[in-house]
Structure 1
């Protein structure tokens, strides 16, 4: 397994660490004015940012060193989906994001993964598109805002967590439609 793929696997391995930090309720709480956050939220966010940043790193190394592989093309978007889905589901449990938003995001991921599977059966490996990368970036931004209780935007009365969540839904749906439109040749409706 080459270095970029190892980095991608490391991203997957960090997911349980994030979940443990989110589950732990014993760390003290930070109070600033009307803002409250727990240390475990900060630690979970820190590990989440590290995990999310490996997405760009593995792709950069793979392209620069010409180490792009079919395994990497499949594993990289899977790692993104696992990371984003795990944290979003937990944020629903915390009441920080509406379930319907997470259902739309996860539904798109299942649909695109299904399309990729159909393409794979035809011998076509679909790498993540630029729009898909943007979608992941906006989702990650929204998750960070939600994990940090909208810090620092809550001090200036801007609901960046809400704005970024809506932006994530919009680009998620748009990029999903884009995948299907650009790859409609993969689906044989006559079967």
Structure 2
């Protein structure tokens, strides 16, 4: 029971919130909902839940470090909850045609590869902490999901709207491509920096 401190409860709540978000987001556009006000309410509820889930991602780690409540359970579940959050929200965005599928594939490939590297590092008692670019990547992704979610809730047509005669969809795609570059680049940096973990002594000698 010592594992069930507040930071870990926040991590579990993030998983619960995102699962409820997926259910609400899935039914929001079903034909059974004929009322526009009800559809808006369901979408807004799903959006708020996603925001709360993202907030717990920032809060649980901060509290665990501040209160010295870092546990094995938290070390296991926190990154898993993060992956569930990113995967679920981005897949919903693809289903709602708010971003191309290849963007999601690129981001998820990086996330799972870095998770694999961290798993290997843990076996060798090496801790891989998030660096500056990793934090920038996370901030950009959260902003991306916030914009996509707002566009979905208020039915703002990114594909049709224009800004200074420039279609916003092109600006949005450029922003997404920038996020992919930062995401993939930050992931590649981990593999270069910690190459001795998977290349063995040969990499250590070259370094």
TM-score for the superposition, normalised by structure 2: 0.77
User: Cα 1:133–1:114, aligned 2, differ >3 Å: closer, same or farther?
Assistant: same
Q: Which residue of 2 aligns with 1:33?
A: none
Q: Which residue of 1 aligns with 2:25?
A: 22
User: How far is the alpha carbon of 1:100 from its aligned partner?
Assistant: 0.6
Measured in 2, the distance between the counterparts of 1:109 and 1:176 equals 8
1:90 aligned counterpart, secondary structure: helix
CA RMSD of aligned residues (A): 2.7
Measured in 1, the distance between the counterparts of 2:128 and 2:72 equals 9
**Aligned equivalent of 1:177, options 168, 184, 188:** 188
Structure 1: give runs of 5+ residues left out of the alignment: 31-36
- 1:121 equivalent in alignment to 2:132: no
Measured in 1, the distance between the counterparts of 2:112 and 2:197 equals 16
Contact 1:8 1:79 in 2 (8 A): yes
Residues 74-122 of structure 1 show CA distances to partners (whole Å, capped at 9, x for unaligned) of 3222211110111111211221110110000011011111111211222
Q: Which residue of 2 aligns with 1:75?
A: 77
Measured in 2, the distance between the counterparts of 1:79 and 1:60 equals 16
> Where does 1:136-151 land on structure 2 (aligned, <5 Å)?
136-149=138-151
**Aligned equivalent of 1:9, options 9, 12, 17:** 12
User: How far is the alpha carbon of 1:73 from its aligned partner?
Assistant: 3.2
TM-score for the superposition, normalised by structure 1: 0.82
> Where does 1:33-52 land on structure 2 (aligned, <5 Å)?
38-52=40-54
User: Cα 1:112–1:70, aligned 2, differ >3 Å: closer, same or farther?
Assistant: same
Structure 2: give runs of 5+ residues left out of the alignment: 203-207
Query: How many residues matched?
Result: 185
